[in-house]
Amino acid sequence: MTVTTPVIPEAGEGIAPTGQSLEHEYLYARQEASRQTGPLGNPLRAGMPFDRVPDACTMVIFGVTGDLTARKLMPALYDLAVDHPLPEGFSVVGVSHRDWSDDDFRAVMKEAVTKSARTQVTEESWAMFARGLRYVQGDFKDPGLYVTLGERLTAIDEERRTGGNRLFYLATSPSYFTPIIANLGGSGVAKRQDIFSDPNENWHRVVIEKPFGRDITSARGLIQEMAAVFSERQIYRIDHYLGKETVQNVLAFRFANILFEPVFNRSYVDHVQITAAEAIGVEGRGGYYEEAGALRDMVQSHILQLLTVVAMEPPANFDGNAVRDEKVKVLRSVKPPTGDEVSVKTVRGQYVGGSSGGRHVGSYRTERGVEAESATETFAALKLEIDNWRWADVPFYLRTGKRLPRRVTEIAIEFKKVPHLMFQNMAGTDVTDVAPNVLTMRIQPDEGIALRFAAKVPGPTTRLRTVRMDFFYGASFGEAGPDAYERLLLDAMLGDPTLFARRDEVETAWSLVQPILDGWDDGATPTVPYESGSWGPREADDLIERDGRRWRRP
Ligand code: BG6
């Protein structure tokens, strides 16, 4: 079949001969082109439906001058606008204290998008996207800002027909969350909508970036403050790991195949290892990191999310509440170490100088914004147990750290040994190289799934060796897929909360981490040094080797 790719008209303002706006014609043609060549310009994904088009809306980004907007949010929005149908009239209002005009904002964003977007930035497509960008300057704590913002939003609704739909995005430092939320509510710029609200009226939603608090008490406080202005169905707590294609693929792998689910349990699984290793250091975020540390920054959020997707029971269906009910259920079954167990089942490390990526790097304590005597952990390892029918007695070993040898995130399910190896003790056999089966789900990079199993080495003797069967996303689908933020921003605009953390999920995750934080505060587990470029402190090896197991070298 010959496919003719539609000619994409020039983007511009005005009306096309069809009677539609030029913007409409332009967006339509781009989407048609994407539909035929695949959403990522990728023939292996051609024909995928574009059935998820949100309503026209305005996204308001608080803290728009920060790193997150430049590296993630704006490139993701641009890629969505180019590759996926973002609605006609879609607009962004950036809010920050910096003295910028709309044009300054557009210029900075163009540079950021050119650097970080997945798709190419052309003059036409940028012009189309940039028309929807506006900037409002002000102090987040000043009620006057919200008056100006409200006026600007009303003007955009008229000019770009965004229908009063608003997505507020808090990309600021956490100290501003409370004043922004209170002012949004107090000024009427955001209105509360609950199940009794008219489903046909315009919608207001808020997306909030982690950290959702720094301990269970502050997390509960933030939950209450948000609940005073927004109903739970309006709140989208973002954890970008859930937007990663490969994390969602864990669910597809488990629940769309008959083969593996029957062995995902204590009868067959010896233990599970979850690793989220980074080669980078704190990259200028010393101030934030001093307050957070690896346990709050990575374990409380991303790693517990990975644990839930691998350990939860099959949800009734793929909808927001069904999936999140199961996630909360499994989190509630996790037994965190408490009291004396903390020093045995957790390790906290901090990088000292060493070699990373072939160059010498300094210690954490010499990073900008870090105390000279800091005890903040840049590495954490822990052993958790899940007290339920499926996983009782199957340890979950988790580790994460900065300045490790390379960037790799994976979940490895290590199965039990076979009960009897019939090849053993036979003359002419060699079974020394046979290790138990391991199923590895590689979240990043080299996204894919690998299965390790034993095979016979060809030849007249019975030699067995461990081999791997590999599935690579890249080979099967051309490339790994859109950035996590694209998926999550689109879901928030569509009002689909499945991949966002629900209030009880956040609270339960904090309740698991809190006893560890308390134990650490009591000095139970001193922070131990590890060399940059190593796999973490010796104590992390001890943690798992005490159980007769070893960390994988991913
Ligand atoms: C962020 C953490 O949430 O996730 C960072 O604050 C970390 O410290 C980052 O580097 C890791 O994300 P990714 O997608 O690069 O694995």
The answer to whether 236 and 492 have CB atoms below 8 angstroms apart is yes
Spatial contact of 347 and 378, defined as CB atoms under 8 Å apart = no
CATH number, domain with residue 326: 3.30.360.10
Q: Are 133 and 251 members of one domain?
A: no
Please pick, among 97, 204, 302, 420, the residue that the annotation labels catalytic: 302
What's the rounded Cα separation, in Å, for the pair 90 and 82? 12
- Flag whether 348 is in a domain: yes
Looking at residue 11, what is its pLDDT?
A: 56
Is the domain of 457 the same as that of 363? Answer: yes
Walking along the chain (554 residues) 10 residues at a time, the average pLDDT comes out as 51 66 64 54 45 86 95 94 83 97 97 93 90 96 97 95 95 94 96 85 94 93 96 95 91 94 97 97 90 95 96 92 95 94 97 90 95 96 97 98 96 93 73 86 92 89 88 78 90 93 96 96 93 97 97 92
Residue 6 included in any domain: no
Whole-number Å distance, alpha carbon 301 to ligand 1 midpoint, is: 10
Say yes or no: CB of residue 297 within 6 Å of ligand 1. yes
- 9 within some domain: no
For residues 212 and 206, is the Cβ–Cβ distance under 8 A?
no
Shared domain for 205 and 259, answered yes or no, is: no
Looking at residue 31, what is its pLDDT? 60
In a domain, 70, yes or no: yes
pLDDT of residue 421: 80
User: Is 290 in the same domain as 389?
Assistant: yes
Q: CATH number, domain at 123? A: 3.40.50.720
Q: Which of 240, 285, 370, 408 to mutate to test the pocket of ligand 1 (most atoms within 8 A of CB)?
A: 240
Q: Is-catalytic flag, 24?
A: no
At residue 152, the pLDDT reads 97
276 and 342 both lie in a single domain: yes
Which of 187, 209, 231 is at the close of a domain? 209
Q: Is residue 411 domain-shared with residue 274, that is, in the same domain?
A: yes
Do residue 450 and residue 356 come from a single domain?
yes
Q: Which atom of ligand 1 is nearest to the CA of 444?
A: 16
The per-residue pLDDT for 480 is 54
Whether residues 200 and 325 share a domain: the answer is: no
Write down which residue in 209, 227, 256 finishes a domain.
209
Task: Provide the pLDDT for residue 36.
Answer: 57
Tell me: do 447 and 511 sit in the same domain.
Answer: yes
Asked, for residue 107, whether it belongs to a domain, the answer is: yes
Compute the distance between CA of residue 388 and CA of residue 505 in angstroms, rounded to an integer: 18
Tell me the β-bridge partners of 449. 441, 471
Residue tagged 């163009």 (tokens) = 110
Domain count, the chain: 2
253 shares a domain with 193? no
Q: Is the CB of 278 under 6 A from ligand 1?
A: yes
Kind and range of the H or E run holding 530: strand 527-532
Containing domain of residue 388, as a range? 243-545
In a domain, 426, yes or no: yes
- CB of residue 209 inside a 6 A radius of ligand 1: no
pLDDT at 47: 47
DSSP classification of residue 407:
-
Residue 214 within a domain: no
397 and 298 in a common domain: yes
Two tokens, residue 118: 């997945």
Do residues 151 and 189 lie in contact, with contact meaning Cβ atoms separated by under 8 Å?
no
Domain shared by 163 and 300, yes or no: no
How far does residue 464's CA lie from ligand 1's centre (Å)? 40
**How many Cα atoms sit within 13 Å of 333 on the Cβ side?**
22
Cα-Cα-Cα-Cα torsion 348, 351, 352, 358, nearest 10 degrees, comes to 150
User: Ligand 1 atom closest to Cα of 301?
Assistant: 3
Contact 39, 50 (CB under 8 A): yes
Given this model, what pLDDT does residue 46 score?
46
Q: Give the three-class secondary structure for 152.
A: helix
Residue 216 forms part of a structural domain: no
